[in-house]
Amino acid sequence: MNVRFDGQTVMVTGAAHGFGRAISLAFAARGAQVWACDVNEAGLRETEALAAEQGFSLHVRTVDVADPEAVRTFVQEASGAQGVDVLVNNAGGVLGQVGRPLEEISPEDWHAIFRVNLDGAFYFSQAVAPLMKARGGGRIVNISSGAGLGVSLTGIQAYASAKAAQIGLTRQLAHELGQWGITVNNVAPGFVRSNPTTERQWESYGEEGQRKLVEGIALRRLGSPDDIAHAVLFFASGYAGWVTGQVLSVDGGR
């Protein structure tokens, strides 16, 4: 399957490392004009440098996905006169939080995770929808988590809840936007060592916990950020033209 995105404008959130970086580089390598954003400016510059090393370029901007005005400004700049073909809502995570008993969770901690994992996806989708409608089509791909389909390995209640809500948003927007030729789909990754947070989580399991985690995967191995990027490429491509409102678990088989 030879997938190309020449002449297309692709926006990727949370592109400073991990999935977002892999997704940004995958689209850029296939001819897309990529606009990548994150709150981590240093990480974004590393993503930009990696693209340059591989012989292609991408645009990077520091954007807080939880700030609707910042989102609108970024979308306006990135769309220019061409509009937006693909939006990948990847920004998310646990924001340094760890699993704690329910009664110890503050409202601030609860809402902080919702803002980056759910609100950001809503604000970006809201900003690109009129542009995609005007073009007569588009692709929105949300990155959730296996935690949104089951339970979080970290025990973080807000993370599991926000990812489940993002899956609900995916299905709802698929039905609302489908009449304009806009597809909305979701990739739900399993555990992947993709960033400092997941590295700390992996180390916390110890040798025995790591062994049990891998043995619980049908393919008996962990995935990589590229595995997630490949699923996104499929949803964004013409091969998925009649696929919308779907959740694809990319987890090695659970």
DSSP-assigned letter for residue 240: G
Mean pLDDT of 142-163: 93
Residue 1 pLDDT level (bands cut at 50, 70, 90) = low
Task: Give the model's pLDDT for residue 144.
Answer: 97
Residue 19 pLDDT level (bands cut at 50, 70, 90) = very high
Give the total number of structural domains in the chain.
1
Domain coverage including residue 16: 9-249
Task: Give the model's pLDDT for residue 188.
Answer: 97
In this structure, is residue 3 part of a structural domain?
no
Residue 202 pLDDT level (bands cut at 50, 70, 90) = confident
Q: Decide: 20 and 91 in contact? Cβ < 8 Å.
A: yes
Write the CB contacts of 53 (distance below 8 Å, at least 6 apart in sequence): none
In this structure, is residue 4 part of a structural domain?
no
In this structure, is residue 1 part of a structural domain?
no
In this structure, is residue 254 part of a structural domain?
no
In this structure, is residue 141 part of a structural domain?
yes
Residues labelled catalytic? 159
Mean pLDDT of 152-161: 91
CATH number of the domain at 91, please: 3.40.50.720
In this structure, is residue 81 part of a structural domain?
yes
Mean pLDDT of 131-155: 94
Enter the pTM of the model. 0.95
Task: Count CB-CB contacts under 10 A for residue 42.
Answer: 10
In this structure, is residue 202 part of a structural domain?
yes
The residue among 1, 9, 39, 163 whose CA lies nearest residue 94 is 163
Q: Decide: 228 and 190 in contact? Cβ < 8 Å.
A: no
Task: Give the model's pLDDT for residue 193.
Answer: 87
Q: Decide: 33 and 5 in contact? Cβ < 8 Å.
A: no
Residue type, 229: A
User: pLDDT tens digits for 6-18?
Assistant: 999 999 999 999 9
What does each C-alpha distance from 201 to 26, 124, 160 come to in angstroms?
A: 26, 29, 16
Sheet strand arrangement including 138-143: 59-62, 33-38, 9-13, 86-89, 138-143, 182-189, 247-250
Kindly state the tokens that stand for 52: 């340059």
Kindly state the tokens that stand for 14: 């949370």
Task: Give the model's pLDDT for residue 59.
Answer: 97
Q: Decide: 157 and 193 in contact? Cβ < 8 Å.
A: no
Q: Look at 6-10, 200-204, 209-213, 230-234 and tell me which has the smallest mean pLDDT.
A: 200-204
Kindly state the tokens that stand for 56: 């292609």
Q: Decide: 238 and 94 in contact? Cβ < 8 Å.
A: no
The secondary structure of 121-140 as a DSSP string is: HHHHHHHHHHHHHHHT-EEE
In this structure, is residue 139 part of a structural domain?
yes
Please state, in angstroms and rounded to a whole number, the distance separating the CA atoms of residues 237 and 4: 8
Please state, in angstroms and rounded to a whole number, the distance separating the CA atoms of residues 69 and 66: 9
What does each C-alpha distance from 193 to 73, 176, 226, 227 come to in angstroms?
A: 32, 35, 11, 12
Kindly state the tokens that stand for 68: 């609707």
